[in-house]
Structure 1
Amino acid sequence: MEKQHHIQLLPGDIGETVFLPGDVSRAKIIAEHFDSAELVASNRQYNTYTGMYKGMKVSVTSTGIGGAAAAIAIEELVKVGAKNLIRIGTGGMMQTWLPVPGILVITGAVSGDGLTREYFPQGFPALADFETVEAMLASAKELGIEVHEGYEWSHDSFYAGSVFSNLDILEIEKPWIDAGVLIASQEASTVFTLATARKCRGGVILASAGCHQHPEKSATPEQMVKAISDATRISLETALKLHKLDHGE
């Protein structure tokens, strides 16, 4: 097999669990939580580090921004051996009662994007893998890290769908706010839908950077570093639980 066109990886280059941050620099930060790690491929926005965590081979691949870019990485990662796909990212909180920063385990997504409709008809549910969610919640409890669980509104346009927009974003978001959707981001529906399509596990854990209803309520850079670190710790322990579930170790 030749290297995958975009991620430039071969079978054996990655672990069964691959973490999926958007940010290239965040991929390196996540890899620093491994017991050991090395950069195994770098092409476009796709940087991949592979290493070990408690005797288990794990990887992290940056995907860039948005579902379309993430889908390319996911499709190619699955071809070289990925079985568990866990996005570690950020988003904008939609509910005022949630803490900022806070950590959210995403159980399902409102598919406001266009990409997932090219895989399944509109209306197909974008749901997280149950075993992954269960492992995330158990890991958070064991680590003493507070998390909340719920839905993400996944959409394509960062500016037209965020507090940076000139549009009345709260009017656009109102149906989802009223429905109890917790956070807005861009990739959860893609991760869940492609994981279903390719018969692997999909999970998403997010740190909230701010609140759409109260833009002044924003996390500091230092707070976000800790939140991402906590989300990474949860994700690593989640990967370990899934590994033991699959291999009986």
Structure 2
Amino acid sequence: MTDETDAGASDADSPASDAESEDPNDGAGYHVEAAAEDVADAVLLPGNPERVDKITALWDDHEEVARHREYRTATGTYDGAPISVTSTGIGSPSAAIAVEELARVGVDTFIRVGSCGAIQPEMDVGDLVITTGGVRQEGTSDEYVREDYPATADGEVVSALVAAAERLGHEYHTGVTMSADSFYAGQGRPGFEGFEAAGSDELVAELRDANVKNIEMEASAILTIANVYGLRAGAVCSVYANRVTGEFRTEGESRAAETASLAVKLLARMDEAKREAGADRWHAGLSL
């Protein structure tokens, strides 16, 4: 005889099968909520959602196309070039989600636009740092590749950012960036009630001696993931603090945004030059 209690159990009371469960791969914009028609091929990636308005204020035109959690996306044109921006929130885990989901809808170029702490004494607050490679002190990229895999910026993106900074007359530095998962202990700052992580008192000095230029929290993951997927990526950050001199001011944010926006325009010209020359990579001989 069948137990009436068992027989009366409905499917709604049972756990969902794998086929019925929520699958973020079913929709490319599970978190970002942007579709292919919403975004340009090149996307700027600030952390703070409030920076989206500051960036789009520099463009010819724009429209907000998506907003969900920390991810705000707007698309428009800068000097006639299609361009988008998506905020990522703080840290590499959320930045990686943005790269993953934007790549799935066709984005092929990513430029992190943010702020950082400089660790070389000659670097002034308000200067720009254009990243050529990253120290992967964040843990997100470890989920993708082995620890000795390099985080390198795409050469075309670096060239475009340098050319843009030069044309705009902004002071800039190029070099290696360290990306951390922690704003406090992971960057050698005291934590609550003066807590100091092991080695934190030597961290900045060791990085400075290795000629690392700056510290922030997203670049190395963005660069690593883009390289894994064969996409272009780079980073430009404004210096808010110099950890050596102790100087701090929230300055240069618009310079980083302007430099990145112009870089997208220059990358579009690079791509056109490559097509005309039948070249796979842009090089100085193709000019701008």
User: Normalising to structure 1: TM-score of the pair?
Assistant: 0.93
Is 1:191 the equivalent of 2:216? no
Please give the alpha-carbon distance, in whole angstroms, between the structure 1 residues aligned to 2:165 and 2:211. 22
TM-superposed CA distance for 1:173, in Å, is 2.4
What SS does structure 2 have at the residue aligned with 1:12?
Answer: helix
Structure 1 residue runs without a partner (length 5+): none
Q: What amino acid is the match of 1:207?
A: S
Conserved 8 A contact 1:170-1:213? no
Secondary structure, in 3 states, of the residue corresponding to 2:185? coil
Larger Rg: 2
Spell out, residue by residue over 1:197-238, the C-alpha distance to the aligned partner (whole angstroms, 9 max, x if none): 1211001001111122233x111x4xx2xx111111111111
Give RMSD over aligned pairs.
1.6
C-alpha deviation, 1:174, in angstroms: 2.4
* Correspondence 1:132 to 2:163: no
Q: What SS class does the counterpart of residue 186 from structure 2 fall into?
A: coil
CA offset at residue 3 of structure 1?
Answer: 5.3
For residues 24-60 of structure 1, give each alpha carbon's deviation from its aligned partner in whole angstroms, at most 9, with x where no partner exists: 0011211111110111000000000111112221100
| Matches of 2:169 and 2:112, distance apart in 1 | 21
- The equivalent residue for 1:200 is 231
Question: What is the CA distance between 1:2 and its match in structure 2?
Answer: 4.0
Matched AA of 1:201 = R
Call closer, same or farther: CA 1:121–1:156 in 2, change over 3 Å: same
Q: CA deviation at 1:164?
A: 4.8
Percentage identity across paired residues of the two chains = 35
Q: Compute the displacement of 1:182 (Å).
A: 0.8
- 2:254 maps to which of 225, 229, 245: 229
Alignment of 1:73-152 (within 5 A): 73-152=98-177
1:178 to 174, 193, 209: 209
CA shift digits 1:61-114 (9 cap, x unpaired) = 000000001000010011112111000001111111211121110111111111
1:218 lines up with 2:248 in the alignment: yes
Higher strand proportion: 1
Residue 67 (1) aligns with residue 92 (2)? yes
Number of positions where the alignment pairs a residue of Structure 1 with one of Structure 2: 243
In structure 2, C-alpha distance between the alignment counterparts of 1:210 and 1:74, rounded to whole Å: 27
Distance 1:178 1:170 in 2: 14
